[in-house]
Structure 1
Amino acid sequence: MLATQCPPEIAEFAERCRERIRNTDDEQRLTQEIARDLTQVLDAGFDLPEELRRPQEERYIMYPLYVSEDDDLSIASAVWNVAQGTPVHGHETWGVVGIYSGQETERQYEKPQREGVPLSALDQAVWSPGQVTVCCTIDDDVHQVWNDGDVPCVGIHVYGRDIGRLERRSYDPETGDQSWFVSTWPTDNDEEK
């Protein structure tokens, strides 16, 4: 089992999420309810330990806060240092993101119907502390995020699968080419670097 560090407020939130997952078949409703719950958690405030807010020099990092044994929920502290971001990517599951500190810029893309066709950019938004968004559903699942602020960005990311083990797509927005990747969870060795 994956070792996680879970503040009590996140543990309670995870239990509410698990209950909603068990009782809701409608993904749109589920993600909206989880977004409301995450907004309440962020509004109430909680102490996320410094070691779960620490950026890496090379790339963004996702620290596991909670990962269910049933592979139906994972919650992570995703940290971007200044000027770091992701490639254009999908999740292959639903996701809800709330900003703990800093700011995150998100650009959404129309989900391609086939490979090899350039992607069409849609909306772009800047998310600030306390703001929550449904970042993806199975049907609407392509975006890119980055930190163009002047301090690290910490987001609480909630997914409908174990995001640290799930194969996902990365896209070249200019060509539409796709490749597969896994955002692996950090190991103790990674954190020592």
Structure 2
Amino acid sequence: MNNNTVITISRQYGSGGRELSEILAKKLGVKLYDRQIIHMAAALLGIGDLNEQSLHELENKVLPLSSGFMPFYAFGSHAGPNVNTELFFAESKVIHQLVNDGSCVILGRCADYILSEEPNHYSFFIYADDDYRENRGKTAYNGKTLKQLNAEDKKRAEYYKYHTGRIWGEPKNYDCIINTSKMSLEEAADMIIAYINIKQKKA
């Protein structure tokens, strides 16, 4: 795999996307960036004293879509009337800084869109059948029901739509989509690595 390869993972809640990202980063010997990004962004805005739960709630508060779409590349201009938008712009800046440090895996945070013009960037959307997600909700997500998992996905979709203008999970927005209910997470990680190796050999 080439140096400075960046892999972005977006995922349905309950699909095992976070665990898959951890496996993938370990196999490749690269850093995984997830919640660190929001803490680094908050520090840029001078709100680094908030706890993780407060930051997560702040991150997920979006204005109604009718308020207008402001893409990430407006960073550096007026960030908009809500802290959520400012936080998103700060996260975008942090993500661009992180990829300059070398190959990595980035989980969520619209990184697939933010880095869409980045060389050696590969984006994957991880999803799973409802039965699989429902079972993982019981065993890996503190007993969450499928309804609760879907409610979280609805928030993710709204957040993504608001900040990118695109449809979250739509296949054309990613290099590849993977159904983790059809294979193990180890196999899914190996598939991602194989895909990137094939693409880079052709480049």
Q: Which has the higher strand share?
A: 1
Structure 2 length-normalised TM = 0.29
Larger RCO: 1 or 2 (CA < 8 Å, sep 6+): 2
Structure 1 length-normalised TM = 0.30
